[in-house]
Amino acid sequence: MRLYAITDRRLLPGTHESGRLSDAERDGLIRLAKEWAELGAEYVQLREKDLGQRELTDLAAAMIAATGHSGSRPRLLVNAGAAGAAEAARATGAAGIHLPGRWHAEQVGTARISGIVSVGCHSVGEVAVARTAGADLALLSPIFPTASHPEARPLGVEALTEAARTAAKMPVFALGGVNAENAAACIAAGAAGVAGIRTFLTGDWTTVAQKKRGRG
């Protein structure tokens, strides 16, 4: 099972200030990146959209350095919702960029200069556009009800099957409400892997990773 972990420092303990990265937040994200790498995450998305280019670059570099000694280093993708994301990705040697929702096809080609292009999709139709535009992988969400976007209508695992068929060789990862209990159903439905924010920040990812390795 391929794993794609996404950061959100607001879910870490403590108080958080928009536009500012505290030492505790920085240390927490670096620690998590190392743990995710050790348990076999293939991708880690740095999703801290409110940070400036300098802080984003420093954090990306530190996360890459922290995962350098793991048996399987994850590919770090910087969320393009942050100002200076592309510059931070190139400066640190990150694997590429993630384009969040409301991207357009032309952006995929532009982002290619930064390496791998991951895109966020909310329908099978958007997956089709991503494939045609040349994206490397897509996150389809929300598959299940999710606390991140409680107002969003879940697509269900049936959408994964259709999306995987539409995507052809482009991997589609299931995102939104995915946890240790339903991850296997996502794979059975055709997802290439599972992605998450809370799942990977709260510890549920440990169970998912163990199942990935066949230990659970």
| Helix, strand, coil percent values for the chain (each to nearest 5) | 40, 15, 40
Structural domain including 25 reads: 2-212
Q: What is the DSSP string of 92-133?
A: HT-SEEEE-SS--HHHHHHHGGGSEEEEEESSHHHHHHHHHH
CATH number of the domain that residue 11 is part of = 3.20.20.70
Q: Is the pLDDT of residue 70 over 60?
A: no
pTM as predicted = 0.93
Site of tokens 């230990």 = 215
Q: Is the pLDDT of residue 211 over 70?
A: no
Q: Is the pLDDT of residue 124 over 70?
A: yes
Nearest to 121 by CA among 149, 146, 98, 90: 98
Least confident of 14-23, 99-108, 142-151, 169-178: 142-151
Radius of gyration of the chain (CA): 16
In total, how many domains does the chain have?
A: 1
Q: Is the pLDDT of residue 9 over 90?
A: yes
Site of tokens 């500012």 = 20
Site of tokens 């990862």 = 173
